[in-house]
Amino acid sequence: MTKVIAIANQKGGVGKTSTTVNLGSGLVRQGYAVLAIDFDPQANLTMALGFKSPDDMEYTVSNVLAKAMDEEPFDPSEGILTTAEGVDLMPSSIQLSRFELALVNEMNRESMLRQFVDAVKPDYDYILIDCAPSLNVLALNALTAADSVLIPTQPEFFSNAGLQMLLSTVSKVRKKINPSLNIEGVLVTMMDKRPNFTKELVSQLREAYGGAIKVFDTEIPKSIKMTESNVNGKSVFGYNPKNPVGIAYEALTQEVIEHDKALERNGRDVQEAR
Give the chain's domains with CATH numbers.
3-273 (3.40.50.300)
Q: Mean pLDDT, the chain, as a whole number? A: 89
Q: What is the mean pLDDT of residues 103-129?
A: 92
Conformation bin of residue 13: beta by default, left when phi > 0, alpha when psi is -120 to 50: left
With a cut of 50, say whether residue 274 has pLDDT above it: no
Q: How many degrees, rounded to 5, is the angle at CA 243 between CA 242 and CA 248?
A: 95
Highest mean pLDDT among 16-30, 148-162, 188-202, 209-223: 16-30
Give CA–CA dist 32/20, Å, rounded: 14
Is the Cβ–Cβ distance between 21 and 49 less than 8 Å?
Answer: yes
Is the Cβ–Cβ distance between 51 and 57 less than 8 Å?
Answer: yes
- pLDDT attached to residue 270: 46
Q: Which residue in 109, 86, 74, 88 sits closest to 38, CA to CA?
A: 88
With a cut of 50, say whether residue 136 has pLDDT above it: yes
- pLDDT attached to residue 161: 62
Q: Which residue in 239, 237, 242, 243 sits closest to 228, CA to CA?
A: 239
201 Cβ neighbours under 8 A, 6+ residues apart:
155, 156, 157, 160
- pLDDT attached to residue 266: 73
- pLDDT attached to residue 202: 84
With a cut of 50, say whether residue 175 has pLDDT above it: yes
- pLDDT attached to residue 187: 94
Q: At what angle do helices 244-273 and 224-231 cross, to 10 degrees?
A: 90
Give CA–CA dist 169/145, Å, rounded: 14
Return the bridge partners of 188, or none.
153, 219
Highest mean pLDDT among 97-111, 147-161, 173-187, 231-245: 173-187
Q: What is the mean pLDDT of residues 169-183?
A: 94
Is the Cβ–Cβ distance between 187 and 217 less than 8 Å?
Answer: no
- pLDDT attached to residue 242: 82
- pLDDT attached to residue 241: 79
The strand pair at 88-90 and 81-82 is best described as antiparallel
Q: Which residue has the higher pLDDT, 162 or 191?
A: 191
